[in-house]
């Protein structure tokens, strides 16, 4: 599962690493504790170029009457994404990447949860495999939403949780977004990240509250995994 993540890059850094124009990121701001149903950004391909678009985390299908399903659909299991009604059409033609630079999982008892931040050692992007949909919030008004695909964990994440987000390389991200890619080739991309891609850093318990979204959330602690 991926239930909280970060994207702390500046607008210019993010645009450069994604290969999009900085102005396309609109009102982007760094996020240190991004929760489900919040607005974020996705990237898809348009002709031969990448396009950054605003979207809300939690996929809501076009036929939905309200956004209640959004929280339930923050993640999609890669093993069943081709058959689940909420995701199968998006899997065919509305694939995207979700830019981040880390995600959280928790250890410890319920009354003393300790957040672990999984991230690249030198702060590089992690590109989650995603799907997107749009639904009408009111007649003529559309909202874009997305989900993050998950898979079995690599050995590093398995110490904390039994699922992890699918993380794509820059090359495989382009394969994932290519509209005419065959389903078999796509499924091969939905695998655990290399064991040495991420490091696990225990961070401040401020992350436990979605009200906190600032650099202090990522203050390293001495807590042990």
Question: What does the pLDDT look like over 11-54, one tens digit per residue?
Answer: 999 999 999 999 999 999 999 999 999 999 999 998 889 999 99
DSSP classification of residue 20: S
- List, for residues 196-205, the tens digit of each pLDDT value: 999 999 999 9
State phi, psi for 217 to the nearest 5 degrees. -60, -30
Whole-angstrom distance, CA of residue 224 vs CA of residue 103: 18
Residue 224: pLDDT over 60: no
pLDDT at 4 over 90: yes
Residue pair 157/187 in contact (Cβ under 8 Å)? The answer is: no
Question: What local confidence, expressed as pLDDT, does residue 73 receive?
Answer: 96
**Catalytic site positions:** 2, 105
Q: Please tell me the distance from the alpha carbon of residue 68 to that of residue 71, in angstroms, as a whole number.
A: 7
CB of 223 closer than 8 Å to CB of 203: no
pTM of the complete model beyond 0.75: yes
pLDDT at 111: 85
The pairing of strands 49-57 and 141-151 is: parallel
Q: Domain ranges in the chain?
A: 5-35+55-218
**Cα separation, 36 vs 3, whole angstroms:** 7
Please give the CATH superfamily to which domain 5-35+55-218 belongs: SOS response associated peptidase-like (3.90.1680.10)
Q: 96-148 pLDDT, tens per residue? A: 999 999 999 999 888 889 999 999 999 999 999 999 999 988 888 899 999 99
- pLDDT at position 180 is 86
Q: How confident is the model at residue 112, as a pLDDT?
A: 86
Phi/psi of residue 110, each to 5°? -60, -30
Can you name the residues that pair with 98 across neighbouring β-strands? 128
pLDDT at 179 (0 to 100): 82
């Amino acid at each position: 599962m991926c239930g909280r993540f970060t994207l702390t890059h500046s607008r210019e850094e993010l645009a450069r690493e994604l290969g999009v124009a900085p102005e396309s990121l609109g009102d982007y701001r760094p996020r240190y504790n991004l929760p489900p149903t919040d607005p974020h950004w996705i990237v898809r391909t348009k002709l031969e170029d990448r396009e950054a678009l605003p979207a809300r985390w939690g996929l809501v299908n076009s036929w939905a009457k309200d956004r209640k399903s959004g929280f339930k659909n923050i993640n999609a299991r890669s093993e069943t994404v081709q058959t689940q009604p909420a995701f199968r059409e998006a899997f065919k033609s509305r694939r995207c990447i979700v830019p981040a630079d880390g995600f959280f999982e928790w250890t410890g008892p319920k009354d003393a949860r300790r957040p672990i931040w999984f991230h690249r050692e030198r702060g590089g992007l992690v590109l989650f495999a995603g799907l997107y949909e749009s639904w009408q919030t009111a007649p003529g008004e559309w909202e874009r939403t997305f989900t993050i695909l998950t898979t079995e964990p690599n050995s590093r994440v398995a110490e904390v949780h039994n699922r992890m987000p699918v993380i794509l390389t820059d090359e495989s991200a382009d394969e994932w977004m290519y509209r005419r890619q065959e389903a078999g080739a796509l499924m091969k991309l939905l695998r655990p990240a290399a064991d040495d891609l991420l490091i696990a850093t225990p961070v401040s318990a401020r992350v436990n509250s979605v009200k906190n979204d600032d650099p202090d959330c990522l203050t390293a602690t001495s807590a042990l995994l």
